[in-house]
Chain A
Amino acid sequence: MTLVKEAPVRPAGKRPAAPPAGRRGRRRENLAGYLFMSPWIAGFLLLTAGPMIASLYYAFTSYNLFTPPQWVGLDNFTTMFQDPRWQKSVEVTLEYVVVATPLKLLLALGVALLLAQKRRGQGLYRAAFYMPSLIGASVSVGFVWRALFSDDAVVDRTQKIFGLDVGGWIGNPDYVLYSLVALSIWQFGAPMVIFLAGLKQVPQELYEAAEVDGAGPLRRFWNITLPMISPVLFFNVLLESIHAFQVFGSAYVVSDTRCGPADATLVYTCYLYQKGFKEAQMGFASAMAWTLVIAVALVTAVLFWSQKKWVHYEEAAK
């Protein structure tokens, strides 16, 4: 704390007036800049860059925390790729990302289109729909979800009305992942708010002109709304899929602390946690972490590349 507070005292200096000019002034600006930045720089070196390098090194070692890391070359990676539980965790995570993200964004966009119309109570609805995004990650909501999706609870009884008799989803390896998907979709409010902000920026004249030309609501959505909000859509797809790759708490709390039953919710982070913190296989866990970083980087790169084809940055925001 003291570091943060004291560091920037110096650049203010005692030297009065005379707006800094020339080389001396520039040097003083540089000094001030770096002093103000010093907490971030320390954090970046100590808690981000340094650890990244360390974890890259651990990935090629066998390390159990108690004896120093031992170089094992690519062993962690070869064991990992052949490990059936690792394969399972990749499968579970991909299914989660591919199912939850589009459904959540679809609902977010649909509700945003609804709320974009100026009606009474619009602000209240917006606030209420946003709330799950704030509490959804809590253990409390995890417990609620567990209760709602257990045997004989509300979801089970509702599905029976429709003739689906599979019992509560929590204990059923074929369904339990969908209870997590449902929890993710329930938090559609955060992307919805971003869609709403994007929709507000679409110039009304475009719609009026299209209406004069006889374009129906579907045409207007497809040819005006969608292209105009594509930057926001891109941002949401990027953010939500990266988040989905990192899901942990809900798998740990809603299903059970082993991310079971039968590894049905063994999401990637959950397996990484088990390997690193339960079995003290820090080398293996680091190899897993770096594999995930590379996978997420690839997804991000593909999204950015695909951007040229479908994202329109004309006279974008502002």
Chain B
Amino acid sequence: MTGATSPALPTATERRRFGSIAWHVGALLVLAVVLYPVIWVVGASFKPSKDIIASLDLLPADPVRANFSGLADGISGISIGSFFRNSLMYAVLAVAGVVLSSSLTAYAFAKIRFAGRNLLFTLMIGTLLLPYHVLLIPQYVLFRNMELTDTLVPLVAGKFLATEAFFVFLMVQFMRGLPRELDEAAKLDGCGHLRTYWSIVLPLSRPAIITSAIFTFINAWNDFMGPLIYLNTPEKYTVSLGLMMFRDQEGVSNYGSMIAMSLVALVPVIAFFMAFQRYLIDGMATSGLKG
């Protein structure tokens, strides 16, 4: 243990090399476990249905395309494309809503000094810890009374009203870090808050906005409970509900296609992740440090 104070050269390099090998072995082991399910689903979607569970080969010896061509028939008369269109619509609206409303709110918290700001900020942070269950039923009653169930409105209304406190918080933290001189200079030049928000703060906050946008997209794409509660006609189903319908109606007879559709449903999320992983991981990291 005291070796570090009087380093003997050969043992030190030896130990370093051993440490390096152990490190890579450990990391690769974790990597194997983490990636196994993902590689499994890729392999399984090219296997004949009967082999998917039974065969232990991760990748099929003779890949078949039948599972994907089977998707062209749709599920119970509804084309697969319909589910993807609905999910895309939901995700795009959610992103637009979150970016617009959260950045406006965050600007107010970060850059405007108004009475009651601290109280409202505390309230907003409080909503972060509130279990959503308590809102589930009354919100459903509300949207039902407004005859808005079976539309996307209940799913995206909250996004346009900045109820995603996590993203507001993320943007507030980011905007607070922007140099104050910039908006003071803008004020001297006669810019009102709207101008300052639109042409100075918003463009500079791009990293926080991209992080929020990607997270929102992925959350909406994956969302299961919201569509499950609010959407009832299969033509309006998102991918999550389409998959569930697939399982309930053809899950046994057409297992391979169900797995293939699961893979297709994952592709947008994984693609976004690969393109923007730095933004996502940094966004997560800062949230923890300042929380």
* Residues on A facing B (Cβ under 8 Å): 1, 4-5, 8-9, 11-13, 16-17, 19, 29-30, 32-34, 36-37, 39-44, 46-48, 50-52, 54-55, 58, 65, 111, 114-115, 117, 119, 121, 125-132, 134-135, 137-141, 143-145, 147-148, 150-154, 157, 186, 189-190, 193-194, 196-198, 201, 211-212, 214, 216, 232, 235-236, 242, 245-246, 248-249, 252-253, 257, 269, 272-273, 276-277, 282, 285-286, 288-290, 292-293, 296, 300, 317
Contacts and interface: CB of A to CB of B under 8 A. Distances in A.
Interface string B188-200: 1010111101000
A272 B133 contact: yes
Contacts of B97: 1
Enumerate the 10 nearest inter-chain pairs by beta-carbon distance, A residue then B residue, closest first.
A43-B161, A33-B114, A194-B288, A12-B192, A12-B194, A51-B138, A197-B285, A36-B108, A140-B262, A40-B162
B100 interface: yes
B1 A216 contact: yes
Contact of A292 (B52, B133, B187): B133
B135 A141 contact: no
Interface stretch (B65-73, B74-82, B122-130, B205-213): B122-130
23 contacts: A9-B194, A39-B105, A40-B162, A43-B163, A47-B161, A119-B23, A128-B34, A128-B35, A129-B31, A140-B41, A141-B37, A152-B54, A189-B34, A190-B284, A194-B284, A194-B289, A211-B5, A242-B129, A252-B224, A272-B133, A289-B131, A293-B134, A317-B290
Interface of A is mostly: helix
Contacts of A157: 56
B104 interface: yes
Contacts of A128: 31, 34-35
A134 B286 CA distance: 17
A131 B33 CA distance: 12
A4 B266 contact: no
A138 B101 contact: no
Contacts of B129: 242, 296, 300
Interface in B252-291: 258-259, 262-263, 265-266, 269-270, 273, 277, 280-281, 284-291
Contacts of A65: 141, 144
B125 to A, nearest CB: 12
B58 to A, nearest CB: 9
Contacts of A119: 20, 23-24, 27
A36 B222 contact: no
Contact of B34 (A46, A186, A242, A289): A186
B44 interface: yes
A109 B229 CA distance: 36
A36 B112 contact: yes
Q: Counting chain B CB atoms within 10 Å of each CB, which of A37, A126, A148, A190 scores highest?
A: A37
B23 A143 contact: no
B120 interface: yes
Interface of B: 1-2, 4-5, 20, 23-24, 26-27, 30-31, 33-35, 37-38, 40-41, 44, 52-54, 56, 97, 100-101, 104-105, 107-109, 112-115, 117, 120, 123-124, 127, 129-142, 144, 157-158, 160-163, 168, 187-188, 190, 192-195, 197, 218, 221-222, 224-225, 228-229, 239-240, 243-244, 247-248, 258-259, 262-263, 265-266, 269-270, 273, 277, 280-281, 284-291
B138 to A, nearest CB: 4
B3 to A, nearest CB: 10
B139 A47 contact: yes
Contacts of B224: 137-139, 248-249, 252-253
Contacts of B27: 114-115, 119, 121, 125
Given A119-B23, A152-B53, 15 more contacts: A37-B108, A37-B109, A40-B101, A46-B142, A48-B163, A50-B142, A52-B134, A52-B135, A131-B34, A134-B218, A135-B266, A144-B40, A252-B224, A252-B228, A276-B137
Contacts of A54: 138, 141-142
B1 A214 contact: yes
Contact of B265 (A29, A139, A269): A139
A255 B220 CA distance: 23
Given A47-B135, A193-B285, A236-B288, A39 B161 contact: yes
A33 B117 contact: yes
B131 A293 contact: yes
Contacts of B38: 131, 135
Contact of B133 (A13, A144, A293): A293
A271 B243 CA distance: 22
Contacts of B281: 126-127, 130, 193
A153 B36 CA distance: 13
Q: Counting chain A CB atoms within 10 Å of each CB, which of B100, B131, B228 scores highest?
A: B131
B285 to A, nearest CB: 4
B188 to A, nearest CB: 7
Given A131-B270, A198-B289, A245-B131, A43 B262 contact: no
Contacts of B52: 147
